[in-house]
Amino acid sequence: MNQDKKIHLISWQDSKGCLSGWQWADDIDNQAVFVTSVGIIIAEDEKSLTIAPHLAENTDGVQCMGAVTIAKCQIVTSYVLPASAFYGQGLGSEQMPLDV
Percentage of residues of the chain with pLDDT beyond 70: 78
Backbone angles phi, psi at 99, to 5 degrees: -75, 125
Cα angle value 9/65/68 (rounded, 5°):
50
Q: What is the pLDDT of residues 18-41, one digit of tens each?
A: 778 898 889 888 888 999 999 999
The domain limits of the chain are 1-17+31-83
Per CATH, which fold does 1-17+31-83 belong to? SH3 type barrels. (2.30.30)
pLDDT tens by residue, 86-96: 555 443 444 44
